[in-house]
Structure 1
Amino acid sequence: MASGMRVQAKVKNDVTQVKALITHPMETGNRKDKKSGKVIPANFIEEVLCEHNGKAVMTAQWSGGISKNPYMAFKFKGGAKDEMVKVSWRDNLGKSASLDVKIK
């Protein structure tokens, strides 16, 4: 499933920079609905993983403290033009998504 993700990867001087924007509500479970007064259930990304050639190059453990529609950027050594990078995430409700992109 790739819906709701934008990822780009660029290499320069043997360092690959990955940028990702994930569409996700990132609810902490502490807010109340203004109309009903009921607590909005927690719904947040727990893990983000980036792989290059099948090897994990970045893993992040998140919680409800991350903002809605999170953006992240990181670099790793290696990677070459036209190789693939895969970014995937999983939330506390079991939903997940992943996207494979070519390094430019």
Structure 2
Amino acid sequence: MSSIKIRATLEGDVTTVKALIKHPMDTGLSKDKKTGKVIPAKFIQEVNCDHNGTNVMNALWGPAISKNPYLSFKFKGAKKGDTLKISWVDNKGESDSAETQVS
């Protein structure tokens, strides 16, 4: 099961992309309430969006982004039925991606 939920809708010549990414986004500064030990940093460092294989958005993130981040952006040049892929990589080397069709 993917950690990413995506929706891409075309209105006129502008595609609006909305994505919700399930990720803890731990800063490395908080402590576990039960053990008192510091929770190691684990956060998304890079998010990419490809439209039919061409990169249309790249974001570099750090530990200040909230848990389960929401991302929204717009771009031009898509048509209904085109493929959109969002992928991310975190500071531990873990990654995920998901695809959707522009509607």
Shorter chain as normaliser: what TM range?
Answer: over 0.9
Does residue 100 (structure 1) correspond to residue 61 (structure 2)? The answer is no
Match of 1:83 in 2: 82
- Counterparts of 1:77 and 1:67, CA distance in 2: 28
Q: TM-score, normalised by structure 2?
A: 0.97
Q: Which amino acid counterpart does residue 103 of structure 1 have in structure 2?
A: V
1:1-104 equivalences in 2 (<5 Å)? 3-104=2-103
- Counterparts of 1:40 and 1:51, CA distance in 2: 33
Q: TM-score, normalised by structure 1?
A: 0.96
- Counterparts of 1:97 and 1:34, CA distance in 2: 29
- What RMSD, in angstroms, separates the aligned Cα atoms of the two structures? 0.8
- Counterparts of 1:88 and 1:4, CA distance in 2: 10
- Counterparts of 1:85 and 1:40, CA distance in 2: 34
Aligned with 1:51: secondary structure?
strand
CA offset at residue 85 of structure 1? 0.5
Q: Deviations over 1:23-74 (max 9, x none)?
A: 0000000001111111000000000000001111000000000000000100
- The alignment-based identity, stated in percent, is 55
Number of residue pairs the alignment of both structures matches: 103
Q: Which amino acid counterpart does residue 93 of structure 1 have in structure 2?
A: K
Unaligned 5+ segments in structure 1 are none
